[in-house]
Every structure is written in structure tokens, then in C-alpha cells.
């Protein structure tokens, strides 16, 4: 069964036939986490890097921000039996859409905060498809941990 992870949301799944999907990863960043032993996976779609921009929104929707979204997804994964040492992390997005002059660099900042958050949790990114100027769709297949990215009519595994 396919479950959509909307912008500023995160979800976990553990049923073998489940697929988590998030659409329209432009400057937003998507992170898939998977524990192959526990069979638990999760996906978050973060818009902005740091929750200090709006702490109230971060409380209401932790997935909106990379710092709170990654923390919330990790907690949810651990609550379902995942172990930090087994987690495989993959990222997509962080494009430079509508920012040709590089003024805001939201995508780049999202990617930087994501790397810092995972590093603090002793998790390395196993694969990523970030930057550029195209929007992406990201899928996480719970039965295998396979993460697929689709963009511009093409599809590939991370």
C-alpha cells in the first residue's frame, strides 16, 4: 500500500507491502531512513533548515524543519524497534529552484543541516541525489529498503 508523505510531514511504516512516497522535492529535502533488521522505514519532507525561525510551527509540524523533522523521524523509528547503528539514510532534493542568484540558498542550507543532524546522531548518508534545478519524487519500499528517485521522466535507485 502506498502512503503519501506531504510537505512538512513524516511517516514510518513496517508492513512489507508498504511504500512511502513524497512528491515535489524542490528546495525541500527528503530523507529516507531504513533499518533492514527491524524492517522499519521512515520518510520526512522538510521545507526549511532550522526551527528557530518559528518554534510554534515547529511544535505543530516538526517535519517542516530539518532539525526537528529528523529528530522526530528518528524517535518514531526507534519507537518501532529500529536501532541507530543499523539505519541506512538516503536523501534527495535540496535543489536551487526559483533562486537563480543564490540569494536564499534554501536547498543548500537544508542539505547542510541534514548532514549535521545525521552526523550528531552518528548516521552517515549512504546515498543522495541533491542540488541541481529539478524537482524530485522519492519512494521508500519497506519490504527491501530500496529508495527510488524520479525526476524529469527518469527513475533511478539511490
What is the model's pTM? Answer: 0.95
Above 60 in pLDDT, residue 143?
yes
Say if residues 65 and 50 touch (Cβ distance below 8 Å).
yes
Dist CA 51 CA 57 (whole Å): 8
DSSP secondary structure string, 4-67?
Answer: E--TT-EEEE--TT-EEEEEEESSSEEEEEEETTTTEEEEEEE-BS-GGG-HHHHHH-GGGBHH
Q: What confidence category does residue 1 fall into, taking pLDDT thresholds of 50, 70 and 90? A: very high
Q: Give the tens place of pLDDT for each residue, 43-77.
A: 999 999 999 999 999 999 999 999 999 999 999 99
Q: Give the tens place of pLDDT for each residue, 92-135.
A: 999 986 655 555 789 999 999 999 999 999 999 999 999 998 99
Top-level class of domain 2-157 = alpha beta
Above 90 in pLDDT, residue 4?
yes
- Average pLDDT of the residues of the chain: 95
Question: Which residues are known to be catalytic?
Answer: 28
Phi/psi of residue 127, nearest 5 degrees: -160, 150
State residue 98's pLDDT score: 62
**Cα angle value 48/105/88 (rounded, 5°):** 55
State residue 104's pLDDT score: 72
Amino acid at each position: 500500500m502506498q502512503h503519501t508523505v506531504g510537505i512538512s510531514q513524516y511517516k514510518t511504516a513496517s508492513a512489507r507491502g508498504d511504500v512511502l512516497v513524497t512528491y515535489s522535492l524542490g528546495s525541500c529535502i527528503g530523507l529516507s531512513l531504513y533499518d533492514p533488521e527491524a524492517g522499519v522505514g521512515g520518510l520526512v519532507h522538510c521545507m526549511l533548515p532550522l526551527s528557530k525561525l518559528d518554534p510554534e510551527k515547529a511544535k505543530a509540524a516538526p517535519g517542516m524543519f530539518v532539525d526537528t523533522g529528523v529528530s522526530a523521524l528518528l524517535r518514531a523509528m526507534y519507537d518501532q524497534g529500529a536501532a541507530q547503528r543499523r539505519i541506512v539514510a538516503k536523501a534527495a532534493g535540496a535543489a536551487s529552484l526559483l533562486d537563480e542568484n543564490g540569494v536564499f540558498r534554501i536547498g543548500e542550507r537544508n542539505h547542510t543541516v541534514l548532514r549535521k543532524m545525521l552526523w550528531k546522531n552518528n548516521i552517515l548518508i549512504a546515498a543522495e541525489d541533491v542540488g541541481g534545478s529539478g524537482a524530485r519524487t522519492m519512494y521508500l519500499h519497506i519490504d527491501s529498503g530500496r529508495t527510488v528517485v524520479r525526476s524529469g521522466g527518469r527513475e533511478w535507485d539511490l
